[in-house]
A and B are shown apart, each in its own frame.
Chain A
Amino acid sequence: MEWFRNPQSKLETTLRLPILIKYSLILLVTRILPRLFIFGIIIYFMSGNLWLSATTAFLVTFLIEMFTLRAWLLNVILPRHLKNLETVRRMLNDLDKDSSADLIKKIEDSVKFSSWAIINIGYVALPSYGWEIIFKFAHKLLVGRAIPYQELLIGFYNKSIEADQALWKVAQERNVSRKSFLRSKFLNEYGSRVDDIDLSKPTLREQPQVVDQLIQLYKNTISPKARLQEAAAKRQKAEAELWSKLFIPKYLFLPFLRTVQKNVQLREDRRFWEFLMDFYIRQMLFKLAVLRGVKRQMIFTKSWRNLKHAATN
């Protein structure tokens, strides 16, 4: 398990975790179960077999989600998430004037937005990893082992490469004021990345010494974009080879391959979008720590209920 490397902080388990669980249940009840139920009923009326209707409904729902979740993310979830992010950003404007009670309200609202995003964007892991798993087996059946299937899925732009390229540009800049401008721009756009699902973990933009060391590391290296182009060339070569070894006509396989390629790109993007609010929530928590006379990092060792109780009484 890549995430949850350490036990989560008390604040995370008492503030965001319960809301994450709530939104998981909402997703299950409003999106997944209705589909399973409708398909199950239809197939049951057609077949009269409960076991068959249950398994077929599960398969149909799974396939529909695999084909539709990417569009759902891009057209429904992301626009709403970015709008929510703007709302959370605006909450920081009057932070100095806020009372403890105001801050409690702002933190709870922001954490709700953040949890909604983590669950809904997280659900898109289903097609982004699912398609690769399906492709791995289909590829073996239809092409054999001649071409490693992973070579067909590399060389696509994603948020991590975009961020790395922006950092690389900062490292190559020689003009001091321009470098400083690019550095700030990089942190504003890509600095919200975190190491784990835990509000106690600092975001990249809160670790200036790390950012400077990364910039140092990036001097005189090949650009991430150039590396991506190498990967894209490798993929194109693999595709050309694929068509000569395929057991079925190209026109049947091509739409499948493109669907898989489009969905696997979401793996890195998804993680970028999920934690965009953490930096802002942390700033509100630090402000609350100041108002309550608690040391900055100590606030993450408190339970939300206790903090809220102390702040509102």
Chain B
Amino acid sequence: MQQQIKGIPGSAGIAKGTAKIILSLGEIKNFRKGDILVTPATSPTWTPIIHTASAVVTNVGGALSHAAIVCREYGIPAVVGTTNATKIIKNNQQIQVDGSKGIITLF
């Protein structure tokens, strides 16, 4: 059975892709357009990365968190408040983000 992580639905939609754990802006050289951004939390500095991501996963935050608000504006699926996604998900792992149900499936 595939491992799943539960979080809070932040922005509706489903996306599948390569997870990139980005802990600080300095690490964005590892990020490619269409990757899934997995990060502790986002701030306004991060919106350009969110715009190019296919989905966003954060450790902290709720439906009114920065990541959820920006993802809804950009129409990108997001699961927020997972507590420890940056620790469970591995860099470059294939994952599916279901922003409507708040579930991340790891492959």
Contact A132 B64 (CB under 8 A): yes
B60 within 8 A of A: yes
Give Cα A155–Cα B24 distance, bound, in whole angstroms: 28
A224 interface residue per 8 A CB criterion: yes
Contact with B along A151-173 (1 / 0, CB 8 A): 00111001111011001000000
| Interface size counted on chain A using CB atoms at 8 A | 43
* B70 shortest CB reach to chain A, Å: 7
Once the chains bind, are B48 and A194 in contact (CB under 8 Å)?
no
Give the shortest distance, in Å, between B23 (CB) and chain A (any CB).
Answer: 10
User: Which residue in B25, B74, B75 is a CB contact (below 8 Å) of A195?
Assistant: B25
Look across to chain A and name the residue whose beta carbon is closest to the beta carbon of B58.
A2
- What residues on A are CB-neighbors of B63 within 8 Å? 150
- The smallest C-beta distance from B15 to any residue of chain A, in angstroms, reads 15
For residue B74, which residues in chain A have a CB less than 8 angstroms away from its CB?
224, 227, 231
Whole-angstrom distance from the CB of A50 to the nearest CB of chain B?
Answer: 34
Q: Which residues of B contact A132 (CB under 8 A)?
A: 64
Interface membership of A188, Cβ < 8 A: no
Any chain B CB within 8 A of the CB of A268? yes
Check A155–B12 contact: CB distance below 8 A: no
A227 surroundings in chain B (CB, below 8 A): 51, 73-75
Q: Given B28, B42, B47, which contacts A210 in the complex, CB threshold below 8 Å?
A: B28
Given known contacts A2-B65, A227-B74, A230-B75, A214 and B44 CB-to-CB distance under 8 angstroms: no
- Find out whether the CB atom of B51 lies under 8 angstroms from the CB atom of A231: no
What are the residues of chain B within 8 A of A159 when measuring CB–CB? 44
On whether the beta carbons of A217 and B43 are closer than 8 Å, the reply is: no
Q: Which residues from 1 to 55 on chain B have a C-beta closer than 8 Å to any C-beta of chain A?
A: 12, 24-26, 28-29, 31-33, 40-45, 47-49, 51-52
User: Is B61 part of the binding interface, using a Cβ–Cβ cutoff of 8 Å?
Assistant: yes
Are B52 and A217 in touch, CB under 8 angstroms?
Answer: yes
Q: How far is the CA of A140 from the CA of B74 in the complex (A)?
A: 24
CB distance from B24 to the nearest CB of A (A): 8
Give the residue among B28, B60, B61, B65 with the most A Cβ atoms within 10 A: B28
Q: Can you list 19 pairs linking A and B with CB atoms under 8 Å apart?
A: A2-B61, A154-B73, A163-B44, A167-B48, A193-B43, A194-B45, A195-B43, A195-B45, A196-B43, A204-B45, A207-B25, A209-B29, A210-B28, A218-B51, A220-B33, A221-B33, A221-B51, A221-B52, A231-B75
The 10 A-B residue pairs with the shortest CB-CB distance, nearest first, are A2-B41, A193-B45, A160-B47, A214-B48, A193-B44, A271-B44, A227-B74, A210-B25, A217-B52, A195-B43
